Structure 1
Amino acid sequence: MDQLVYIRMRHRLQVNPHELVFLKDVAQIIADESILEELSRVPLYKVTAEDRNIIIIDVMKVIRQLTERFAPIEVQMIGPAQTIIEVVAQKRKISKPMFILIWLLLFFGAALTIMNFHEDVSMQEVQQKIFTLVTGEIDPKPLIFQIPYSIGLGLGMIIFFNHVFKKRLNEEPSPLEVEMFNYQMDLDNYVSLNENKESMKKIDDH
């Protein structure tokens, strides 16, 4: 009777340039203890200088190598059909002048956006009218409304993005994190379909 091996491919994996990728890196494995260690150390791919930053390992390639090396075994696949390998080059340190420049651009850009929005909706006139309705007096600068509103605007942004610098307020993801996750999933689906040579066949392929 063939030994049964369960393979669950990981969704994404990061490796260094020129690294040798083993089965244990790209998949979770359930198998008999007698072959589990040897299965884990099966080499699948060697990252070379010709490789770009994205490599696709298809489960059919994994099954082919395992059945040839460990016959007779039966491989059962669970989950995704490929693993996206991201080759991560050594990160360059960001210079302090560049960091300060980007910070200033984001700060003044956000400030101008908020000011232009308030100007478009006539926020100052609205606060003046509210002050007049509540107190019966006319004040061109109703600070009793403007100061709490400014503080509340900052607190609202902190709650919306769910972060104070690097500290997360709670475990719920922020809308920005959800959008980044959706973008990454769409990008991974595109890469899986277009970079995986096993998933398409052109008319001139033989």
Structure 2
Amino acid sequence: MEACPMTVYIKPYKKTTIYNKRNITIKDIAEIAAPVSIENSLEKIQVLKIQENKKKNYVISIIDIIKAIHKEYPDIDVDNVGETHSIIEYSPNENKENGILTFLKVLSVCCILFAGGGIAIMTFHTDAALPDVLRQLYKMFTGIQTDQPYWIQVPYSIGIAVGIIVFFNHFSSKKITDDPTPIEVEMDTYEDSVEDCIIDSIIEEKRRNK
């Protein structure tokens, strides 16, 4: 009776950052589920040797990984349960963050967002003639004509702040719920688009160089 071939399950990461390591192994870019007797050996199989010691992006396909495995273990069946392409972001040295520079960047962004958001809200209220609407509401409920309907303006202003906090799911550094914020969702979508673009660009470059 013919023995069934051994099956190995592999899950490549979408993106991996590597610092100062030019021999890239399967363990660096993927998770492996295999029999204990060969798992360690599979993780050490080299899939890429970086020639240039400079910051650069590389792409490894699942085909490259399967070929590397079959070179050492030709009888193994490889079942991919992850990404079809894996980005390697190589850098000779790990960049250390400058705390002061990071603080200044965050402060600048906060100032720009605060000013821009404030102007946008004021412009919208001007276009919608909100001050006139609030004065009319005040007169409807009280029968008094006034230019400063504070008991309507103050709750409305508080409501805007509460609405923004609830929508963005953040108050100070704490989340209101465990759900991702709209900004986190947009950033994740943006990162996926950038990574797909990098993969397509590198694959196209490889095709031209063949």
TM, length-normalised to structure 1: 0.85
CA RMSD of aligned residues (A): 2.4
Task: Name which of 44, 50, 53 aligns with 1:49.
Answer: 53
Q: Residues 51 and 63 from structure 1, CA distance in 2 versus in 1: closer, same or farther, beyond 3 angstroms?
A: farther
Please tell me whether residue 103 in structure 1 is matched to residue 110 in structure 2.
Answer: yes
Task: Name which of 103, 124, 130 aligns with 1:123.
Answer: 130
Unaligned segments of structure 1, at least 5 residues: none
Task: Name which of 187, 199, 204 aligns with 1:192.
Answer: 199
Q: Residues 123 and 186 from structure 1, CA distance in 2 versus in 1: closer, same or farther, beyond 3 angstroms?
A: same
| CA deviation after TM superposition for structure 1 residue 81, in Å | 1.0
| CA deviation after TM superposition for structure 1 residue 66, in Å | 1.0
Q: Residues 111 and 91 from structure 1, CA distance in 2 versus in 1: closer, same or farther, beyond 3 angstroms?
A: farther
Identity between Structure 1 and Structure 2 (%) = 27
C-alpha distance in 1, partners of 2:22/2:128?
56
Q: Residues 39 and 98 from structure 1, CA distance in 2 versus in 1: closer, same or farther, beyond 3 angstroms?
A: closer
Letter in 2 for 1:162: N
Q: Secondary structure at the match of 1:62?
A: helix
Q: Could you list the per-position Cα deviations for residues 148-182 of structure 1 after superposition, in whole angstroms to 9, with x for gaps in the alignment?
A: 11111111111111112321111222222222222
How many pairs were matched up?
202
Unaligned segments of structure 2, at least 5 residues: none
| CA deviation after TM superposition for structure 1 residue 46, in Å | 4.4
Where does 1:177-188 land on structure 2 (aligned, <5 Å)?
Answer: 177-188=184-195
C-alpha distance in 2, partners of 1:167/1:43?
43
C-alpha distance in 2, partners of 1:161/1:151?
16
**Map of 2:18 onto structure 1:** 15
Task: Name which of 7, 14, 28 aligns with 1:4.
Answer: 7
C-alpha distance in 2, partners of 1:8/1:129?
63
Q: Could you list the per-position Cα deviations for residues 107-154 of structure 1 after superposition, in whole angstroms to 9, with x for gaps in the alignment?
A: 222222211221111111110011111111111010001111111111
